[in-house]
A and B are shown apart, each in its own frame.
Chain A
Amino acid sequence: MATDRKESDELKQMVDIDRVIHEPARFLIMAYLYVVESADFLFLMNQTGLTRGNLSSHLSKLETAGYVDIQKEFVKKMPRTILSLTEAGRTAFNDYRQQMKQVLDDLPE
């Protein structure tokens, strides 16, 4: 009975994984923004190796989820897009790390 409950909890943990972050490209974007304070679109594009369209599309999803803050500004008449993690995004990323660690640690050998 206790074993069944444990298995059920483990399965629930897997189901509860944040799917917005779980997608590899979005995970990479979140990871980069997690380790820096902010970065512009070009820097993130260079670091992640994603194309403009791909990065733009993933950022849009992360922004919709409230994880990424996107600010547009003009520097000497040139547009610049500054990206940073929101508090919710930072918390979600931390939670995701913990959950994944737990799930992977609990896997049988």
Chain B
Amino acid sequence: MNEIINLKDLERKAFRSVFQDGLWDIFIGFLFTQFAIAPFLSERGLGDFWSSAVLFPIYMIVLAGVILVKKYVVAPRLGMVQFSKKRKSKFKKLILMTNIILVIGIIAGVFFVDLSNLNIKWLFPATFSLILLIGFSVAAYLLDLARFYVYGAMNSLAVVVGELLYRFVGASHHGFPVAFGVTSSIMIIVGIILLVNFIRKYPKPTEDLNLEGVGNGNR
């Protein structure tokens, strides 16, 4: 037993266990529904900004739900853990990288708005697709979550497929409602399946886990 234990794998397993509840999949999935819903709202006169902004309170409610489920459903089943400084620094890097990608995305968005009169058909979809792929891949690498690579590839491909549907089949709004409707639904469904499996795998402990006779100097 001693010989086959790899400490890096052990740490990775412990870290991954925190993300096996699927709650982040559900939340990210909901965030991506924005690309499917916002175009319709924009069409009804809300404009590009307000069509996204109006969905913000809904995402805040979903986020609040995720936090509550994490606190009252996941934590009492999984227990609490504080990871090493190295892991915490990796997490900080993820937040930094996410912000950098977000800023690049905003700059690219503004830049492409200015270029909208030019006939550069594939520049926006290609850039957006790349940003999604890089963003999810960075998260997958720093969080050691292989399924995020799949999400990255899937959403990146969704932009291209959407554009193809728009150009060749006449799908509305650059095919975003269809393409992102599918990818966001997949992420939400995967999240729900993971959550159900998590609840099944880790039933809420019925016994008191306070140790008698050990701890706080009782030696």
> Which residue of B7, B78, B207, B213 contacts A43 across the interface (Cβ within 8 Å)?
B78
> Which residue of A42, A64, A82 contacts B219 across the interface (Cβ within 8 Å)?
A64
Given contacts A27-B1, A35-B11, A70-B215, contact A52 B207 (CB under 8 A): yes
Is B45 among interface residues, defined by CB-CB distance under 8 A?
no
Is A37 among interface residues, defined by CB-CB distance under 8 A?
yes
Interface size on B, residues (CB 8 A): 32
- Sorting the interface of chain A by its residue count into under 10, 10 to 19, 20 to 34 or 35 or more gives 35 or more
Segment among B29-37, B58-66, B80-88, B155-163 that sits at the interface with chain A: B80-88
Q: How far is the CA of A36 from the CA of B81 in the complex (A)?
A: 7
Q: Classify the interface of chain A: helix, strand, loop or mixed.
A: helix
Is B214 among interface residues, defined by CB-CB distance under 8 A?
yes
Interface string of B127-165 (1 = CB under 8 A from A): 000000000000000000000000000000000000000
Q: List residues of chain B with CB within 8 A of the CB of A43.
A: 14, 78-81
Q: How far is the CA of A77 from the CA of B212 in the complex (A)?
A: 17
Contacts beyond the supplied A24-B1, A27-B5: 7 A-B pairs with Cβ under 8 Å:
A27-B2, A35-B7, A35-B10, A41-B79, A71-B216, A81-B211, A81-B215
Are A24 and B2 within 8 A (Cβ)?
yes
Is B90 among interface residues, defined by CB-CB distance under 8 A?
no
